[in-house]
Structure 1
């Protein structure tokens, strides 16, 4: 279901590319996550109260236009049918520019017009939602506790929940942190955090062992903690431990 949701999220990213002012850091493509609704959602489209969202609970796309909601059930729907539906929604909302499914980054999966979305495992989809909720609440508490300012967004390329911020002290430290989907670093969803000084990633090879998580120095430089079985306080403690060592480096 991770693959299904990653692919479905690209419709939202393409809406950002089509209808949101371009940003150099690609943040016009990234997505918000609603803990209360269990949905991914775009920024406002075409400078209007229009948002395209993706529901973990219902496995649906939702076109929200100033309080009016249109819903497309993804289960059994082809890629071509999704594009047709979005274009109908764009036309009904009187958006003057066309919707273009033109992703400027590579994904680890292929999609064509005949690709059919399948709700293969409802319980797995619910677990993915819980992972997103856990990541978001961990990041929110960690950032708030440390008076750090950052959006918490889902980046459609790697499909990670992420934040990036600089510490407002003399350390010169910036940190990137979040939750990644399974990849070559880990076969499970995992929290990650890296530190940066002068735009260079901080080397962690001589850091002290963590009580939660582990340091990584190949492929990814920083620390990770598998999400499976942890609670919010574990994640916050993990980020705190890593940041404390990064500050002293």
Structure 2
């Protein structure tokens, strides 16, 4: 899949919900393994994952041992895998037709074969009002039959990874790019230079595949602490400010220019990110030296 094949809008973005939920539950195997077997980090990034552009897969942190490995989920085929540091497959399980517990049992067995105690791997328990409900949580089986939708969702992550890499290059205080298991968003966090640990000023930049705020993929740029919403500046790229429960600049997939090709869509996203990050920094630090950065 090349960059020009991503985000073409062949599928209505508001029709991706069921496939998105399948993926959201599938990546919980990565988070569970990280939580059990990786040294804990204060920001919980040991439970997060990255996008591996070579495998076109979600990949977790490296598990140390005689045979180092990582857990991967290939979204298009909904395949759970153990891979070595060279991206070679150690073992894999197509999740189609499997329940969450069947996948977990398989994962524990395969990790145990590598000489690691896998019994402490358990699926993470997020607040029920802040994690999507789905029959998979109650014994239903994965369904990988909607390959087109899964491929479309993968394309959003491919594009997000590339565009966020550009953001990390532009802003030296930007964090690594992580995909978070709780909300399934891919994001970087820019910490403003004058921030102090007890009162950090940050700008979160990322892509959500959809959630309760928007039932479709959307880009966001969120300054924190949240600014006063009375005089929020205008934004490029047909974006707008979201102000209910959280404050951030938002560009939903449905706002992409109609009939535009993937390259034009990505230019629209890039314009949005550039304007929204500058606006967010100005809101947090009106007289910051950063106001001319980017």
TM over 0.5: yes
Instruction: Check if 1:108 corresponds to 2:142.
Output: no
SS in structure 2 at match of 1:123 = helix
CA shift digits 1:178-203 (9 cap, x unpaired)? 0112223222200011112xxx2223
Matching residue of 1:183:
211
Matching residue of 1:28:
46
Matching residue of 1:144:
169
Change (3 A) 1:183 1:96: closer
Q: How far is 1:145 from its partner?
A: 2.7
**Please, which of 180, 189, 199 is the counterpart of residue 155 of structure 1?**
180
Unaligned runs of 5+ in 1: none
Instruction: Check if 1:174 corresponds to 2:195.
Output: no
Q: How far is 1:64 from its partner?
A: 1.7
**Please, which of 62, 68, 71 is the counterpart of residue 52 of structure 1?**
71
Matching residue of 1:74:
95
Could you say which structure has the greater relative contact order, defined with CA pairs below 8 angstroms and 6 or more residues apart?
2
Matching residue of 1:193:
221
Instruction: Check if 1:7 corresponds to 2:7.
Output: no
SS in structure 2 at match of 1:45 = coil
Change (3 A) 1:68 1:124: closer
Measured in 1, the distance between the counterparts of 2:247 and 2:137 equals 35
Matching residue of 2:228:
203
- Preserved contact between residue 39 and residue 55 of structure 1 (Cα < 8 Å): yes
Measured in 2, the distance between the counterparts of 1:46 and 1:92 equals 14
SS in structure 1 at match of 2:70 = strand
Measured in 2, the distance between the counterparts of 1:46 and 1:98 equals 16
Flag the structure with higher helix content.
Answer: 2
- Preserved contact between residue 134 and residue 231 of structure 1 (Cα < 8 Å): no
The normalised TM-score by structure 2 is 0.76
Flag the structure with higher strand content.
Answer: 1
Matching residue of 1:218:
244
Q: How far is 1:118 from its partner?
A: 0.8
- Pairwise CA RMSD: 2.2
